[in-house]
Structure 1
Amino acid sequence: MKQLFIFLVLLNFSLFAQRPTSDQIETKKGPLIIQPIFHGSLVFTWNGKTIYVDPYGGQRVFEKLAAPDLILITDIHQDHLDLKTLETINTDKATFIVPQAVAEKMPENLKKRMIVLANEKSTEFEGISITAIAMYNLPEAKDSKHTKGIGNGYILNLGGKMVYLSGDTEDIPEMRQLKNIDVAFVCMNLPYTMDINQAASAVIEFKPKVVYPYHYRGKDGLSDVEKFKSLVNTTNSKIEVRLRNWYTTY
């Protein structure tokens, strides 16, 4: 019994020891702390507020993190709208920003704290400007895994820093036409979103100052994010590509 207890303690410690280290971006209102979590999940801490993006993976991957003030959900799929995780983390004070399709699947006890955004619509939450951006597969088709208007990418203005979250998308015109993005989180996993070549091509076009490949586990394993970085920096060495291991806890 004692050996089992020691094993569980060590296992729990190893999980959090493996969580990627947080990064910091300076803004006009103090530092923005970026904490990668798992797959498409991350946590921002800024100006006294904690923001969860697509909380997924269960309670343990969020332990020892502050409870969220704001939760952004991009899509109806389970790796974005993870109701089991939402049931186990502390969401008592959280406001939810969601697309309509997500709102329809949310439990009744959370619906009263939702703000529903359609693509291209904006809202504000305690000094944070949030704009919903389209996310979808190409070519557009009714049987696509992600059809236009169902989900949201997001752009957040955090103390003058523009942060883009792609959600599940291909290299759509709405992404390629982005301007003045300071930090971008860009997905790349086949067959659900796009490959590294599409992602690199889009990033080269909209030129974020910093880009994180995230959501890069697909049907055949992990995308080659090192190759993605090479593709981007061969054309534009000024774009900082930050590689983090988003799959350390699983």
Structure 2
Amino acid sequence: MRRVRFVLGVLLWLGFATSAIAKEDQDAAIGPVALETGAGPLRLQVIEHASFVATWNGHTLYVDPVGDPARYAGLPAPDVILITHAHQDHFAPDTLAALETRHAVVVMPEAVNEKMKENIGAQHIVLKNGAQTTVHDIPVQAVPAYNLPASPDAHHPKGWGNGYVLTLADKRVYISGDTEGVPAMRNLDNIDLAFVCMNLPYTMDTEQAADAVLDFKPTIVYPYHYRGQDIDDFERRVTRADPDIEVRRRDWYPGTES
């Protein structure tokens, strides 16, 4: 009997160990660690432009998934999908329809909800600017994202799109979406990691983006959504004014000139 219990114990341990190793391998396949948190690392896999996949604490998040569904092959299915607004470089119903989304919670503004197919995701949560929700123990806050001066005729009118702040254990992550340096961005507190857009004519140039970043002072900032912009200039402006802000660069336009 002791031998049987011992063998069963070993088999159970091997099962747990194998599962843990498989999970670790899966997380590692996502990409490098972008941020360490009190509940484990946030890993980042850049897709393109404004689209990326992240894993944290056993959850997989897709942000503005668009483009060729093959780009997502081999990645875990999403538990959470965040969509910032309804422009085609951030919201692609055909891409979503081709992905495995049946267990995903989709968080979006009303403008996206109006165009969202009902069979995408297990649950839809619509957030207005400033509203909050919690998805898989991740607090999510919608941050205003719009063009200045605010106008109903703007390419990104106020209230139409969201940025997002995610609280991951003891760390806070900001995703700008398409915006200019609006007060809600500049007044953010305690941001550990930020994804900040910059491309003309509908968001910010590198000078405007750097100026906004220097106001809210994230610990780490990833320039993204930057096609055609001088990222060297952005990095110089930020690091010369505040060397404590780390600018991290990834290739958001693989196979092309950004």
TM-score by length of 2: 0.85
Which of 46, 53, 56 aligns to 1:43? It is 53
Name the residue aligned to 1:232. 238
Structure 1 position 247 matched with structure 2 position 257: no
1:249 Cα deviation from its structure 2 partner:
4.7
1:138-157 aligned at under 5 Å gives the runs: 138-157=148-167
Query: What is the rounded CA distance, in whole Å, between the counterparts of 2:100 and 2:122 in structure 1?
Result: 16
Counterpart residue type for residue 213 of structure 1 = P
SS in 2 for 1:203: helix
Distance 1:135 1:66 in 2: 29
Contact 1:120 1:131 in 2 (8 A): yes
The list of structure 1 runs, each at least 4 consecutive aligned residues, that deviate by more than 6 angstroms after superposition, is none
Matched ranges for 1:1-250 at <5 A? 22-110=32-120, 113-217=123-227, 222-249=228-255
Q: 1:136 Cα deviation (Å)?
A: 0.1
Partner of 1:108, secondary structure, is coil
Alpha-carbon distance in structure 1 between the residues aligned to 2:92 and 2:170: 30
In structure 1, list runs of 5 or more residues that go unmatched. Answer: 1-18
Asked if 2 retains the 8 angstrom alpha-carbon contact of 1:187 and 1:193, the reply is yes
Q: Deviations over 1:15-70 (max 9, x none)?
A: xxxx9953331111111112221100111100100000000112111111100000
Amino acid at match of 2:135: F
**C-alpha contact (below 8 Å) 2:104/2:122 kept by paired residues:** no
* Cα distance change, pair 224–21 in 1 and its aligned pair in 2 (3 A): farther
Report the Cα distance in structure 2 between the residues aligned to 1:224 and 1:130, rounded to whole angstroms. Answer: 31
Bigger relative contact order, structure 1 or 2, given CA contacts below 8 A and separation 6+?
A: 1
Partner SS for 1:198 = helix
Q: 2:103 and 2:113 mapped to 1: Cα distance? A: 18
The whole-number CA distance in structure 2 between the counterparts of 1:70 and 1:79 is 19
Q: What CA distance in whole angstroms lies between the structure 2 residues aligned with 1:120 and 1:94?
A: 22
Secondary structure in 2 matching 1:169: coil
Alpha-carbon contact 2:206-2:234 (below 8 Å) kept? yes
* Paired AA for residue 246 in structure 2: E
| Offset of residue 206 of structure 1 | 0.5
RMSD, aligned α-carbons: 1.5
Counterpart of 1:191 in 2: which secondary structure? coil
Structure 2's unaligned 5+ residue stretches are 1-28
Equivalent-residue separation in structure 2 for 1:143 and 1:48 (angstroms):
42
Residue identity (%)? 51
- Superposition TM-score, scaled by structure 1 size: 0.88
CA contact (8 A) 2:176 2:196 kept: yes
Higher Cα Rg, which structure:
2
